[in-house]
Amino acid sequence: MPQNKEHNRCIVFAGLPHGKPVSENFRLENTPIPEPTEGQVLLRTEYLSLDPYMRGRMSDAPSYAEPLQVNEVMVGGTVCQVEVSRHPDYKKGEWVLAYSGWQDYALSDGSGLTRLGETPQHPSYALGIMGMPGFTAYMGLLDIGQPKQGETLVVAAATGPVGATVGQIGKLKGCRVIGVAGGSEKCKYAKEVLGLDECLDHKSLDFADHLSQVCPRGIDIYFESVGGKVFDAVWPLLNTKARIPVCGLISQYNATKLPGEPDRLSLLMGTILIKRLKIQGFIIFEDYGHRYDEFAKDMSKWISTGQIKTREHLVDGLENAPKAFMDMLDGQNFGKLIIRVNDAQ
């Protein structure tokens, strides 16, 4: 079902999932296209970003952001064009970064919009390498991880939009970088395209043993976005004063109960003390929003010189967003997952 100018397709949150989201947790609706009043613009969505944090918004558990309400449009970052402008600062055809969610059209009074120009070369980059994922990788590694020449950096989800960027920045800073990914194809990409020193398949039965073999001098930085068995394998290899930036725990997002294993909290706390570990979670725009310009300057330079590479996983059609989102939570995406909403372009 292509985008059109007669109605607004939107995907709403249809109910709380128990465990993994299913198709019944989403509902596609057709609504009238809203009309802007004085001081507003009508935005037409070109690209929609799908990110793991959205799973947290589909839960009523305590979090840093308010949960979605049933029948509310699913949230998400978007790249849009101004379709109609009644705002003095914006004109028709201008590209903007917005947060208008899973729908074709949305109104804005201009607050929260970021201008991308009239003819951006790679507009979807604003949702990936030049947006939240790239910014997360940059600040998490450089400010919390503080990499030093010759250190060993292990990065989870090493071919995802955050992990791939972390790994490449780590190499630029002189680290030995070990990636962790799901499957031989992703591991091959991490080494041959991203330039990581090693990449291990977390699905292999001997993953923990293999990790210890490729980290003979231990681990100085572990960039965490997964949790679960990857963290279990990393934990005993951490060096004294190791740093662990934590931006996500995707392995736990669909959990409905605590794992049926012995409580290891006291062991964890003891290791933090004995090894003097630094473990820090962060919410990128809340903690580092004031440093975006610093990131944008460095990342733009690295991309233009070919020192940082990025890969997008494009899916056509807003109606395919729920399945793509569910697949992403199972690790089936390869690169930054983006829905091309205006699939007629």
- Does residue 87 contact residue 109 with C-beta atoms inside 8 Å? yes
- Does residue 74 contact residue 54 with C-beta atoms inside 8 Å? yes
- Does residue 168 contact residue 195 with C-beta atoms inside 8 Å? yes
**pLDDT tens digits, residue range 258-285?**
566 667 788 889 999 999 999 999 999 9
Residue with more model confidence, 20 or 260? 20
- Amino acid letter, residue 85: S
Query: What fold is seen in the domain 8-128+311-340?
Result: Quinone Oxidoreductase; Chain A, domain 1 (3.90.180)
Mean confidence (pLDDT) of the chain: 93
- Residue 150's contacts (CB-CB under 8 Å, 6 or more residues apart) are 174, 175, 176
What is the rounded average pLDDT of the residues 9-19?
Answer: 94
Residue of 118, 191, 179, 187 whose CA lies nearest to 154:
179
Please tell me if the domain spanning 8-128+311-340 has the same topology as the one spanning 132-286: no
User: What's the pLDDT score for residue 216?
Assistant: 97
- Does residue 75 contact residue 99 with C-beta atoms inside 8 Å? yes
Give the separation between CA 155 and CA 244, rounded to whole angstroms: 10
- Does residue 134 contact residue 161 with C-beta atoms inside 8 Å? yes
Residue 18 pLDDT class (50, 70, 90 cuts): confident
What is residue 38's three-state secondary structure? coil
Give the separation between CA 24 and CA 15, rounded to whole angstroms: 8
Examine the pLDDT at 314 and tell me if it is beyond 60: yes
User: What's the pLDDT score for residue 257?
Assistant: 58
Give the separation between CA 96 and CA 300, rounded to whole angstroms: 18
Give the separation between CA 94 and CA 218, rounded to whole angstroms: 50
What is residue 240's three-state secondary structure? strand
What residue spans define the domains of the chain?
Answer: 8-128+311-340, 132-286
**pLDDT tens digits, residue range 142-180?**
999 999 999 999 999 999 999 999 999 999 999 999 999
Structure-block tokens of residue 342? 């205006």
* 34-48, 50-64, 65-79, 267-281: least confidently modelled range: 50-64
What is the rounded average pLDDT of the residues 241-267?
Answer: 73
Place of tokens 């070369």: 121
Give the separation between CA 311 and CA 188, rounded to whole angstroms: 14
**pLDDT tens digits, residue range 83-137?**
999 999 999 999 999 999 999 999 999 999 999 999 999 999 999 999 999 999 9
User: What's the pLDDT score for residue 210?
Assistant: 97
The number of beta carbons lying within 10 Å of the beta carbon of residue 72 is 13
Query: What fold is seen in the domain 132-286?
Result: Rossmann fold (3.40.50)
User: What's the pLDDT score for residue 343?
Assistant: 72
User: What's the pLDDT score for residue 90?
Assistant: 97
